A and B are shown apart, each in its own frame.
Chain A
């Protein structure tokens, strides 16, 4: 290569460098902006339409909804504040979810571990999988009616009564059904996807069955179990509104939304929906952080 071509190719290289750096910078701004573009458009359109329509029952304006959201502690429709209703909902979901976790994880690990157990239980479990949580409503009502946790624990007065009387067994059941299958399926998958070599490895090092379970199967299945927990919580949270439409419900975001609908307060309906989205997103985000922090090895060792 002679001098000129070299310097030409060098300057070409530096242009290329410059371009990639610039493009990279644009890219960074882009990746920061791109998630917000659609929501901003959406809100703008919403506001434009709302002003056009000028009927807050069909579509309230953005600021009407914001007014409710910025005062989350204000009493709405005399059924308590937004915060209070969200908390009641979280408590309900928490209980149903907790019950699902307690049963689905051990069951899933067990099914994943033993082919015999799987052959015995899976056909039965699969009978129930296609039934949407909502389809259980009539049956659940026939069984539990408006029985609440307060009835079960025989709490008859006090602030605990107010709280627990709001938590009906039927709602917990619906939420339980929603969370159960994702957790079960992922726990089974977690155990089944453990590589045979890892089990052989620990056996050659002198492990007994308990060691295999505690030192290989459980830790190897854990990331998948946590994914199941995350998805299960998402589904449980989605089942909330349907659960809170059940009779006997006098609080909760789901109830707030349906009640606001019956009194034609669309602004509260939308505020409730936003609260549901926010809490659901937050829970999911927390789980994703946990997954990323503790299970880095999983994505990197494949």
Chain B
């Protein structure tokens, strides 16, 4: 299968307003294949969000190259969409107009885009909230709407930055299952950022582990388990332990560097 994303020698240095430089990423090399479900894990500050924003084209690399679908990336492209770590719905738009926004920007006529957005809302079980405003929705529903908005433009690549981070365990399990069935049915590429090793092993075909100061890749695992996955399965436990050990050693390394 072809690589859908190719990253070579990527680094990103932020210069703050006080002219201090922060190296958010150092020498990242990463190829992602079409239809992979890649999970990025790493402690806070390891550059996960930065990597995602670079891949989406929201910011430009300091050095290195990013190719998406064999083309050098110059900015956001229609084939990719993103779900943000922070709350990102437009508070003055109701849910259907939030979800249909991408289509609105593509000049899709109103009834057509409502039809498409409506179907997605149904699939996400929030069809009763068509005309509600974001502040009237629970956290889980807001996040579902944000995912629905990204999916509505029918992207081949979906970047998700800790989309379930703020949800309770129960809602999170439900959303994880929903996401897996979406991915299995629709054959898209997903790059999913999470803090949780367990979530990464539960979701991904592949888990990339990152470490901080500077942000870099410290591990790349293929998770060879069939879906739906069982958290109590022995092999699941093996993957989980292996990753946990790696992440913890990364932490120790970091604390010794102080």
Contacts and interface: CB of A to CB of B under 8 A. Distances in A.
Contacts of B78: 206
A203 B87 contact: no
A22 B223 CA distance: 64
A185 B37 CA distance: 47
Interface string B127-143: 00000011100000000
A220 interface: yes
Interface in B30-74: 53, 56, 58
Nearest to A203: B76
Contact of A207 (B80, B87, B105, B149): B105
Contact of B135 (A201, A203, A297): A297
Contacts of B106: 206
A206 B90 contact: no
Contacts of A27: none
Interface in B63-122: 75-76, 78, 80-82, 84, 86-88, 90-92, 101-102, 105-106
Contact of B102 (A195, A200, A205, A220): A205
Nearest to B82: A204
Given A197-B84, A197-B86, A297-B133, A204 B91 contact: no
Nearest to B134: A301
Most buried by A among B86, B92, B135, B153: B92
Interface residues of A, number: 22
Contacts of A204: 56, 58, 76, 80-82, 150
A200 B84 contact: yes
B91 A298 contact: yes
A202 interface: yes
Contact of B105 (A200, A206, A219): A206
A300 interface: yes
Interface residues of B, number: 26
Interface string A12-23: 000000000000
Contacts of B87: 197
Nearest to B106: A206
A67 interface: no
A223 to B, nearest CB: 9
Nearest to A216: B90
A74 interface: no
Nearest to A208: B105
Given A197-B87, A297-B91, A205 B135 contact: no
Interface string A272-290: 0000000000000000000
A219 B93 CA distance: 10
Nearest to B90: A198
Contacts of A201: 82, 84, 88, 90
A156 interface: no
A200 B92 CA distance: 17
Given A200-B82, A215-B105, A296-B133, 10 more contacts: A198-B88, A201-B82, A205-B101, A206-B78, A206-B153, A220-B92, A297-B133, A298-B91, A300-B135, A301-B135
Contacts of B135: 296-297, 300-301
Given A197-B86, A211-B105, A297-B133, A203 B91 contact: no
